[in-house]
Every structure is written in structure tokens, then in C-alpha cells.
Amino acid sequence: MTPGIRPLVAGNWKMNGLKSALGELEIMRDASKPGNKPNHDMLVCVPFTLLAQAAEMASRSSFNIGAQDCHKNISGAHTGDISVEMIADCGAEAVIVGHSERRTDHGETNIEVLGKANAALDWGHMAIICIGESESQRKSGETLNVLKAQMDGSIPDSPANGEIVVAYEPIWAIGTGLTPTVQDISEAHNFMRNELVDRFGEAGKSIRLLYGGSVKPANAKELMGIDNVDGALVGGASLKAVDFLGICEAYQ
């Protein structure tokens, strides 16, 4: 972890979760009540269908709710898309942008991710900007070049009114059970920190860097002990309160 930075554990439910899953969120919320004095921030990004209900459930706690994507425009003729204004109207406070599944499945470019990040930040939201390399890119030694290109192209020049968070998710480790070595993660996160400091100066030292990719209770403590890993972006393990809270225990 980075000294002086409050860690963030963020869950990404992806295309999972019906109304019955709100019970899991209720357990997570109760664990984050001020009386329990968690020393980290907790966030879960749920499907759009659960956004308003989840945000209402979390409204009287330090537990926050976010969305998994947004459109760069506030309104307009964009059938099927969701604007940050709509997300805010539901009570959510954060948006994931540029996840590798969006970049791959929907062909999102760095420019498109940048537009979405700017929209979230302009609205005062947290923008969790995802970057990461494929297995073939790693094997060919292109990891740092890929990360640099994605950071240069996807991260806004100014955090505006919101907060920039950068999440490193090696594509080959997402949902596969594979986890990079401590050395691999350390190299990536140290590189990211240096890039941010080069670009933003002192402000780059306080931008939270999350690691994502098969994070689970069994490996969370080791992962969170790596320099410049300021939290986790958790996929499948965030669907169950017991697993998500088990990861949060790495910060206790």
C-alpha cells in the first residue's frame, strides 16, 4: 500500500445480480457502518437494474455504490445507453470505465474511455479507469508499453470535480484463477505511479491504484502488502458478502 492513502476495495458485479442479491449488499453495508470503524473505503458497482435500490440501501452508511459504465454525453439520442446524470439520479457515486471486457466486447478505444472518464469526473463522481495487458502482450514483453498507451490515452488531464482511480487488471488474470507474481504486480504498479507523478506532479502520488484479477480472500493480504497497491477491484468474489468482506479484512 501507499503510505497516506486510504485503501479502496471495489466490487464489480458485472452482468450478475437480481433483486434477491440485495441481501448480500445489506451484509456488506452493515459491516461498513461508522461504528465498525473500517479503515478502508468500500464500493460495489452493480448492474444498472439494481442501481437505485442499492444506492438507497447504502445511503445511510459509509458503503458506496457505483455503476459499471456510462455514456460520455449527459443526454441525447443514444438508445440503450446510461448517462452520468442518470447514474447520479439513482444515488450512485462512482463509475467503472474502460474495463477490458468493454474494450474487448464493445471495441472501446482509449479516446472513448477518456470521454466517459471526463463525464464522470465533471459530474463529481469517482472514475475507476481500467488498464491491462493481454496474455500475448505480456509474453511479448509489451506490458509496460501497453499500460503507458492506455494511461496516456484514457486518463484525463485533470480530475475536475471527481476522483481519478486507476485499476490495473491483467486481462489474462480476470476470472481465470491465475494471478501475476508479486514481482509482476509490483513492477506494473510502480510504473503506473511513476507515470502519474511525471504527469500530475505531487497530485500523482495520491491517486489510488487498484489491483484486479482473481482477487480473493486467500491472496488479498499478500496482494495488498505490495507497494503502490492501494486497494482491489474485485470481480466474482464481490458477489458474496463473506468473500468480499474476507478481502476487506486484509486491511484490518
Which residues have a catalytic role annotated?
99, 169
Gyration radius of the chain's alpha carbons? 17
Residue 132: which of 191, 209, 212 has the closest Cα?
212
- What's the gap between Cα 196 and its chain centre? 17
d(CA 232, CA 241) in angstroms, rounded, equals 15
